[in-house]
Amino acid sequence: MTSADTAPSPRHDYDLLVIGSGPGGQKAAIAAAKLGRRVAVVERRGMVGGVCTQTGTIPSKTLREAVLYLTGYAMRGLYGESYRVKQDITVQDLLARTHFVIGREVEVIRAQLQRNRVDLLSGAARFLDEHAVEVLGERRGEHQTVTADKIIVATGTRPARPPAVEFDDRRVVDSDGILAMEAIPASMVVVGAGVIGIEYASMFAALGTRVTVVERRPQMLDFCDTEVVESLKFHLRDLAVTFRFGEEVASVGVSERGTVTTLVSGKKIAAETVMYSAGRQGVTDELAVEKAGLEVDARGRLTVDEHYRTSLGHIYAVGDVIGFPALAATSMEQGRQAAYHAFGEPVGNTSAVAPYGIYTIPEVSYCGATETELTEQAIPYEVGIARYRELARGQIVGDDYGMLKLLVSPDNHALLGVHVFGTSATELVHIGQAIMGCGGTVDYLVDAVLNYPTLSEAYKVAALDATNKIRALRAM
Ligand SMILES: Cc1cc2nc3c(=O)[nH]c(=O)nc-3n(C[C@H](O)[C@H](O)[C@H](O)COP(=O)(O)OP(=O)(O)OC[C@H]3O[C@@H](n4cnc5c(N)ncnc54)[C@H](O)[C@@H]3O)c2cc1C
Ligand SMILES: NC(=O)c1ccc[n+]([C@@H]2O[C@H](COP(=O)([O-])OP(=O)(O)OC[C@H]3O[C@@H](n4cnc5c(N)ncnc54)[C@H](O)[C@@H]3O)[C@@H](O)[C@H]2O)c1
């Protein structure tokens, strides 16, 4: 394929048409507008901000914040196990905050698009040919055809629903349906121990729901540090979560009194609610991609090259619709990079180390390699650990379980991986990411003066731990 055509084309209504206003679509649109291009975004009514804002990242993270605050969970280390901010927490208590944040986020997104002169076209898009898209509005017969030089597909995913399971959005729900719950269930089965399943399992467990997690694989979150996952499992079990690993759901029965989940092994689990979080499916079925000459895979996803181009050089795809890693953070960056590439703007380092944040209770975050990966690749490393309970800030915030682990090369002291478990893990990880991204070594942390008392101090403690071990080894 030749390099991107950068000349504006007066032949089409827009230089760029973006389908979907999630993180990938938003950043693609604004990046192109900043380059002086005529841009439009197509989005369904009531879905501005995408899955991210309406049903995924933002509601789940706001719900988690409300759970942490109202249950007093984070303060129990200081005030005792019976500490609560509110005794009888209702769904209304939890969802009020969520609706408020979603509303504000939608306003921010609309304002950002407006002030960058990006047209927001309301409706569902479908391809007519490789440059023309029809936008179908909510009302019958309401449609318009728009043409564009370049098109970016950012249509995301929706929860995969196994055909054998009857979802009633009341007792048997997915991660969309859970946001419309009428009451906090006393018991719940979570099917699938992926990130979505474990985040919601921990939230409901903190609310006092008896949660059973059923997962087909023998383990959960196996891309994370093993020790961190063990600590998380310990904490969740302490909150009365039961894990059924290596088990598969055979059927889910529903009655007025609740649900019975039958596993292939014959076990039966009674619960008020069943939440399915067993993967997601690309939203391409209404897009008529074949009219543009494109194909999707069995899970509705589009395949792209390293510049996010589909098999057609002028149609790009970004975000969850292209699959792994399927994060809001990576989707935004893919959107920006696709737009820059489409209009010939140089893109920076595309292989920069990216963090992973899992908003369980307690939270988990990491960047770089895990111990398992380094061992498999026969790369030597030393481990430096800091435990929150030995940090003054850890005591102040009442976190006596958190830890930060650095994986360090004994040869050149390069930081190979950073793994954090506990309070503010998803924020703290960025210090390590910055050092890794700039090619720094752990020596910087050994010599650095950090604010005291902070959780960031964990970096210095862990760096000293790793270098002490490396020095001891050298002295042998
Ligand atoms: C419960 C949950 C929690 C999550 N938590 C996190 C987290 O903490 N951190 C994180 O980084 N990621 C998280 N994610 C993942 C994150 O939400 C996604 O990676 C991100 O939203 C993907 O962005 P996207 O640009 O692909 O578009 P999406 O946000 O998926 O939005 C796509 C948009 O395209 C629109 N669309 C689809 N088809 C059409 C069409 N034909 N015409 C017009 N519009 C169309 C849809 O209406 C939708 O609004 C979470 C996801 C879920 C479900
Ligand atoms: N904090 C975050 O960054 C965050 C939060 C939520 C979601 N996400 C993203 O959303 C995406 C989707 O997450 P997800 O958790 O739905 O999907 P997933 O594919 O990661 O996990 C689904 C899990 O369900 C299991 N499973 C499937 N069918 C089963 C069955 N019948 N019985 C038992 N177990 C079964 C699978 O083995 C798998 O472990 C992920 O790729 C993730 O990146 C990110």
Per-residue pLDDT of the chain (476 residues; tens, 9 = 90+): 334 455 555 689 999 999 999 999 999 999 999 999 999 999 999 999 999 999 999 999 999 999 999 999 988 888 888 888 888 999 999 999 999 999 999 999 999 999 999 999 999 999 999 999 999 998 888 899 999 999 999 999 999 999 999 999 999 999 999 999 999 999 999 999 999 999 999 999 999 999 999 999 999 999 999 999 999 999 999 999 999 999 999 999 999 889 999 999 999 999 999 999 999 999 999 999 999 999 999 999 999 999 999 999 999 999 999 999 999 999 999 999 999 999 999 998 766 789 999 999 999 999 999 999 999 999 999 999 999 999 999 999 999 999 999 999 999 999 999 999 999 999 999 999 999 999 999 999 999 999 999 999 999 999 999 999 999 999 99
In ligand 1, the atom with minimum distance to the C-alpha of 123 is 43
- Tell me the whole-structure pTM to 2 decimals: 0.95
Distance set, CA 199 to CA 164, 192, 219 (Å) = 25, 11, 15
Residue 276 Cβ inside 6 Å of ligand 1? The answer reads no
Query: Sheet of 415-421: strands edge to edge?
Result: 356-358, 364-368, 415-421, 403-408, 382-387
Cα(115) to centroid(ligand 1), Å: 23
Nearest CA owner, ligand 2 atom 15: 194
Q: Which of 172, 174, 216, 361 to mutate to test the pocket of ligand 2 (most atoms within 8 A of CB)?
A: 216
Residue 106 Cβ inside 6 Å of ligand 1? The answer reads no
Cα(152) to centroid(ligand 1), Å: 15
Residue 56 Cβ inside 6 Å of ligand 1? The answer reads yes
- Rounded Cα gap, residues 400 and 394, in angstroms: 6
- Rounded Cα gap, residues 206 and 263, in angstroms: 25
Cα(280) to centroid(ligand 2), Å: 7
Cα(142) to centroid(ligand 2), Å: 37
Cα(27) to centroid(ligand 1), Å: 13
Residue 370 Cβ inside 6 Å of ligand 1? The answer reads no
What pairs with residue 159 in β-bridges?
280
- CB atoms under 10 Å from CB of 319, counted, come to 34
Note the ligand closest to the C-alpha atom of 360.
2
Q: Which of 47, 52, 360 to mutate to test the pocket of ligand 1 (most atoms within 8 A of CB)?
A: 52
Residue 19 Cβ inside 6 Å of ligand 1? The answer reads yes
Paired sense of beta strands 273-276 and 187-191, if any: parallel
Counting Cα atoms < 13 Å in the Cβ hemisphere of 461 gives 21
Q: Which domains does the chain have, with CATH numbers?
A: 3-159+281-351 (3.50.50.60), 172-278 (3.50.50.60), 362-475 (3.30.390.30)
- Rounded Cα gap, residues 388 and 118, in angstroms: 46
| pLDDT score at 7 | 57
Nearest CA owner, ligand 2 atom 21: 194
Ligand 2 contacts (CB < 6 A) are 191-197, 199, 214-217, 248-249, 277-280, 325-327, 357-359
First to last CA, the chain: 57
Nearest CA owner, ligand 2 atom 24: 192
Residue 450 Cβ inside 6 Å of ligand 1? The answer reads no
Residue 53 Cβ inside 6 Å of ligand 1? The answer reads no
Cα(323) to centroid(ligand 2), Å: 12
Note the ligand closest to the C-alpha atom of 23.
1
In ligand 1, the atom with minimum distance to the C-alpha of 126 is 41
Asked if residue 331 lies in contact with residue 317, where contact means CB atoms within 8 angstroms, the answer is: no
Note the ligand closest to the C-alpha atom of 192.
2
| Helix residue ranges per DSSP H, 165-266 | 195-207, 226-238
Cα(137) to centroid(ligand 2), Å: 32
In ligand 2, the atom with minimum distance to the C-alpha of 192 is 24
Residue 286 Cβ inside 6 Å of ligand 1? The answer reads yes
Cα(79) to centroid(ligand 1), Å: 38
Q: Which of 44, 48, 51, 175 to mutate to test the pocket of ligand 1 (most atoms within 8 A of CB)?
A: 51
Cα(405) to centroid(ligand 1), Å: 31
Query: Sheet of 187-191: strands edge to edge?
Result: 172-174, 273-276, 187-191, 210-215, 242-245
Residue 60 Cβ inside 6 Å of ligand 1? The answer reads yes
| pLDDT score at 81 | 84
The rounded radius of gyration (Å) of the Cα atoms in the chain is 24
Nearest CA owner, ligand 2 atom 30: 248
